[in-house]
């Protein structure tokens, strides 16, 4: 396992699952149904092709074997704005593949900043990761889980409250890649 994979796995376990930011991640992580695919290339074209291939892999692999994929781009998108613009291409790819309603993309970046938020706002921590990540999610799986989850609409608000209540020491421990 590469250092990038280790960093992403650590983030997944300590932040996403540890803080329960995604209440649906623990089970597929425990069952080893989450793929972390690192695209080391520094070409946006290669990354887009990689995402296309990973969507194809999800199509061809039973959900019992592979629930979801995190495509990590450690050598691209130092600037969040560049990442955000590329995200539009990824969304366009999903549409072009006729996979809208089948897959959705969740986005994570070290400098993630929600629209209308200030960069230093705690709420951004919910989507901050050690590297730019494109999370390829099966919509059918999300729908199944959401049916049995109490108050799914409250998840974002609960997540913001969770990260706002972290101490500085907790933030340093959970987000060491944010300490410059």
Sheet holding 68-72, edge to edge: 34-38, 68-72, 133-138, 103-108
- Give the integer Cα–Cα distance in Å for 33 and 12: 13
* Alpha carbon distance 52, 128 (integer Å): 24
Residue 38's SS3 state is: strand
Q: What is the per-residue pLDDT across 61-70, written as a single tens digit (0 to 9) for each?
A: 999 999 999 9
- Which residue's entry shows tokens 């613009």? 85
Assess whether pLDDT exceeds 80 at residue 78: yes
- What are 139's two structure tokens? 């919509």
Say if strands 68-72 and 34-38 run parallel, antiparallel, or are unpaired.
parallel
Q: Centre a 10 Å sphere on the Cβ of residue 131 and count the other Cβ atoms it contains.
A: 20
In this prediction, residue 180 has a pLDDT band, given cuts at 50, 70 and 90, of low
| CA neighbor of 58 nearest in space, from 70, 47, 72, 48 | 70
Q: pLDDT above 90 covers what percent of the chain?
A: 87
Find all residues with CB under 8 Å of 71, minimum gap 6, and list them.
37, 39, 47, 50, 51, 54, 133, 134, 135, 136
Token output for 84: 């955000």
What is the pTM for the complete model shown? 0.95
Give the tens place of pLDDT for each residue, 117-161.
999 999 999 999 999 999 999 999 888 887 777 888 888 999 999
Task: Give the number of residues written for the chain.
Answer: 180
Given a cut of 80, whether residue 51 has pLDDT beyond it is yes
Distances (CA, A) of 132 to 76, 97, 109: 8, 23, 4
Mean pLDDT score, 86-114 = 97
Domain boundaries, given as residue ranges, for the chain: 3-173
């Amino acid at each position: 396992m590469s250092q990038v994979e280790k960093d992403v796995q650590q983030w997944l376990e300590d932040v996403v699952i540890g803080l329960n930011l995604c209440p649906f991640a623990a089970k597929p992580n425990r069952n080893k149904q989450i793929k972390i695919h690192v695209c080391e290339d520094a070409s946006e074209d290669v990354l887009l092709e990689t995402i296309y291939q990973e969507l194809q892999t999800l199509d061809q692999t039973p959900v019992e074997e592979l629930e979801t994929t995190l495509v990590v781009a450690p050598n691209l998108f130092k600037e969040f704005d560049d990442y955000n613009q590329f995200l539009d291409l990824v969304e366009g790819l999903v549409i072009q593949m006729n996979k809208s309603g089948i897959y959705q993309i969740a986005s994570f970046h070290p400098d993630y900043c929600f629209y209308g938020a200030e960069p230093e706002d705690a709420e951004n921590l919910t989507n901050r990761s050690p590297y730019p990540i494109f999370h390829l999610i099966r919509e059918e799986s999300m729908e199944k889980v959401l049916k049995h989850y109490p108050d799914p609409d409250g998840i974002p608000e609960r997540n913001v409250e969770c990260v706002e209540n972290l101490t500085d020491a907790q933030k340093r421990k959970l987000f060491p890649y944010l300490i410059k």
